[in-house]
Structure 1
């Protein structure tokens, strides 16, 4: 669903006149006790050292919505060098924009960033490394972020939320909105449209009309993005527990056909749409049932499941005869098909491609054995046997069979 922008609400003043809307503690649901103690330690140490520290991004969004954040990220006016001196149990990562990771017991990591004036992808001359002038103010940091609902700051001293972009209104109204002019922001970094779709799918929010129209108009610009970035974003969506809703929005906007053009005709004639949705429902069940955010399926299995409706129709996979020379013939056809459609498009590693190929080439025989309630003895000796068991069980569930046992995962 798409809603119209509240343009009067969004009308920006001159930069020098913009003031944050301050939401007092009594008017929002976030309490210090909701924040991880490690994040609180970082915030209080920054304060005691004379710096400003803010809980930012998805942590504020999720706490406001009554959810438990996976991560508690912090922004501050302290520079990376100052942070390293303040937190001895830390390291600096990143080349363009440096982050400081603060380490705690139990493998807990809190990422701390210095407030920035612009996004990496809003810098026009990408050959020149940023200097200190990329550090910015709260206001600048808010406007360089992708979505209004991810552009809020929680300030620990007064327990207030600082809002420069109308993010609290959008949280209350259930709207996903790209910060600033969505046309300009998407052209500068097309991956922003994937993030808008992701958060709409995860929250059940609507994408505002201007952002939606920009996504539809510029969806083909995703082809200009580095394949590895697209792959990383895709994997996040597949393990989110909301991949079905994500795919639905991607199909409506045309983004899905841009990412997977080989699926376009199959979706148009409704040939594999229902099966694709069923597979995504199974993936969502698996990741939602975990409750702890654990990722049960590795990259090769996620990609194999996502592409199964297509490869099944392309090669008539499950009906193939794999005895004798049939195995080698099918193996070659699968490798060629994957190379043509996904390996270069998503920068899939050779090892992942081979793992996907192995799952597919063993599916016909494995499915026949499953119907006989047997398992091929020769396959049990293979290192990939368990992956074949899992993928076959999930395909069977998606096709209306027995629900795959959680014990498998």
Structure 2
């Protein structure tokens, strides 16, 4: 089994063929397949200790317990799984009774988070058909087909067909270590195809975020989107406007901080989805030739940092996404006579206010983003102590990196970035020389101000003294 698993990691597509063979074409949905322990390469050794604890406790309490979704897909692709989700026939309340370290979350989809230190195992109850009525748990939809509540419990077969993509409808049983494939996901993994389960238009109406998930998985896994799955996306993109801004912010983090942000951005643009997330940024790319290169270089830099396991922050990407709109608004405000500093601050507030109608921007990210923008006006001001004060600003490094991207994208002429690069690396003597080149005092201190002569207050006039 170990040798077979090694071969699978080296060539997952060929090994899947040898293990499973080609699925015969047939009318209707694929027949469920159950692969026994010796017919698949998935091993408990790949699972986290926390996920195994959840699986075994549910199983020992008499409930069905399956590992489900992306962790199995990644295992079959030879990728080390990271996130572990569990599906069970136990209700959220029954799961919570088994785990003191758990809490029920969500209104639209009620799920249970079981926490082990920093790791969270997500446990979901098998879901049934959206319009079924199982006692108190009823699914409800809007007139457009959007699922508003979906707490209808069902069995594993119904749950599998409620999943979004075939490659995510895989279940690993802790009872006998078998792998259950309900929608032809194994074959789609072999052909590297992303395919929705069911009618694509209906599934997108149920949850428009599935369009974003299709893009994210296609970019992350280097999969092709099946023709029937991709066909409705461009036309149905405006359905994303129904989604709460807070949920879209969570999706943005997944889209652009996965290590494939640049590929994701290009796909979002191709399918008309980026405009639903950042409408003003999308509009300004037609007017400012440097706006799109700036975003792409910011994404490329972030992808590289993620590959190198270096820290990244959404604030930097958000600053790049919305810098173009800020510059257009600032230009108009200055043309109306507003000075540059208040014009930048006003433009930033206007851009953020419009963006909040689409995507939430938590202050822990929007405040650093504004600092990066504000520092763009301070970086050219290098006289006297200003250079040192700017260098010591907590956001200086991010603002400096942002300046380099602006120059590389063609917004600014090169030069200022090189000066700041040299200034950071220089010793005290070289820093004085650099400051001297921009007309500062060689000692690195502010030039003496002209002292204004203090005007003496007139002495109060003494009343005339009488001779008497």
CA distance 1:394–1:42, change in 2 (3 Å): same
Distance of 1:303 and 1:313 partners within structure 2:
16
CA deviation digits over 1:114-171, x for unaligned, max 9? Answer: 111157997316999666xx11111111111222211211112322221111111111
Q: How does 1:193-212 map to 2 (within 5 A)?
A: 193-212=211-230
CA deviation digits over 1:147-197, x for unaligned, max 9? Answer: 221121111232222111111111111111122110111122211100100
CA distance 1:99–1:174, change in 2 (3 Å): same
Shift of 1:277: 1.3
Distance of 1:96 and 1:224 partners within structure 2:
14
Distance of 1:215 and 1:127 partners within structure 2:
18
CA distance 1:270–1:141, change in 2 (3 Å): farther
Match of 1:357 in 2: 370
Which deviates more from structure 2 when the two are superposed, residues 195-204 or residues 47-56?
47-56
Shift of 1:211: 1.1
Match of 2:244 in 1: 226
Match of 1:392 in 2: 400
Q: How does 1:239-250 map to 2 (within 5 A)?
A: 239-250=257-268
Match of 2:121 in 1: 110
CA distance 1:99–1:221, change in 2 (3 Å): closer
Contact 1:53 1:76 in 2 (8 A): yes
Match of 2:94 in 1: 82
Match of 2:156 in 1: 138
Match of 1:169 in 2: 187
Shift of 1:397: 5.1
Shift of 1:27: 3.5
Match of 1:259 in 2: 277
CA distance 1:80–1:225, change in 2 (3 Å): closer
The alignment status of 1:158 with 2:176, answered yes or no, reads yes
CA distance 1:257–1:128, change in 2 (3 Å): closer
With normalisation by structure 2, the TM-score equals 0.71
Distance of 1:117 and 1:391 partners within structure 2:
50
Contact 1:148 1:170 in 2 (8 A): yes
CA distance 1:137–1:399, change in 2 (3 Å): farther
Q: Would you tell me which structure has more helix in proportion to its own residues?
A: 1
CA distance 1:96–1:280, change in 2 (3 Å): closer
Match of 1:305 in 2: 320
Distance of 1:398 and 1:152 partners within structure 2:
45
CA distance 1:399–1:52, change in 2 (3 Å): farther
In the alignment, which of 123, 131, 137 is matched to residue 140 of structure 2?
Answer: 123
With normalisation by structure 1, the TM-score equals 0.80
Distance of 2:40 and 2:308 partners within structure 1:
30
Q: Which has the higher contact order (CA 8 A, sep 6+)?
A: 1
Distance of 2:129 and 2:74 partners within structure 1:
24
Gaps of 5+ in 1: 1-7, 405-409
CA distance 1:112–1:314, change in 2 (3 Å): same
Match of 2:72 in 1: 60
CA distance 1:29–1:386, change in 2 (3 Å): farther
Which deviates more from structure 2 when the two are superposed, residues 301-310 or residues 267-276?
267-276
Contact 2:58 2:64 in 1 (8 A): yes
Contact 1:186 1:192 in 2 (8 A): yes
Distance of 1:313 and 1:10 partners within structure 2:
56
